[in-house]
Amino acid sequence: MDATLIRSCGLGLLAGFLAAALWRDLASYRIPNAVVCPGTAAALILHAALPEGYGLLSSVPGALGLGASLAGLGIGLAALLPLYLIRAAGAGDAKLMAMAGAFLGASDALGAVFATYLAGMAIALLAMTRAGVAAGVARNLRLIAYGAFARLAAIEGPRFDPRADCAARLPYSSAIALGTAGWCAWRLWP
């Protein structure tokens, strides 16, 4: 199988699943498992079945193998799991980043996570420019931090409920899609 075809198929699948998750997240502020689970399965099958190479973004595109795909999945999940645990992100966001990591492999998953964090910060700063949002964001950040430190100290602290306490709703799938696409473009730039 041609290396450019492998790259095109892999990145096309990744883009399709990211677009489907973004579309669902924009419509309902939820990323359903019906999008993330098939995407993760496709990534694992792709890296287990296609001819060997050095990843979708390398100069020698090809499958990384099941182990490297699982490592990328783990990195993507570990990157957003702390945000989920303090209720600053949804489980769907963590699973979507894990899916992207499964497509990219461990080293490119780290880059995509970094780019996703940058995209998320940019989107949040843009959202804060709306009137009245910045004060609510500052209040919520204090509430999240105090609650997290209280739980670490094993005392009862305030709970942050993103549905009730949100200053602005931001579908984080947009940051994941932009960050992952940005990282892929950066790596493939001649």
Pinpoint the alpha helices (H) of the chain: 3-28, 33-49, 66-85, 91-104, 106-128, 133-152, 162-165, 173-188
Average pLDDT of the residues in 85-104: 93
- Higher per-residue confidence, 101 vs 142: 101
46-60, 82-96, 157-171: which range is least confident on average?
157-171
Decide if pLDDT at 172 tops 80.
yes
| Highest mean pLDDT, choosing among 51-65, 100-114, 163-177 | 100-114
| C-alpha to C-alpha distance for 33 and 91, rounded to whole angstroms | 10
CA nearest neighbour of 140 among 165, 163, 117, 158: 165
Write down the pLDDT at residue 30: 94
Write down the pLDDT at residue 145: 82
Write down the pLDDT at residue 56: 92
Average pLDDT of the residues in 82-101: 91
Decide if pLDDT at 167 tops 60.
no
What is the model's pTM? 0.85
Distances 105 to 28, 55, 75, 122, 171 between C-alpha atoms, Å? 29, 7, 9, 25, 24
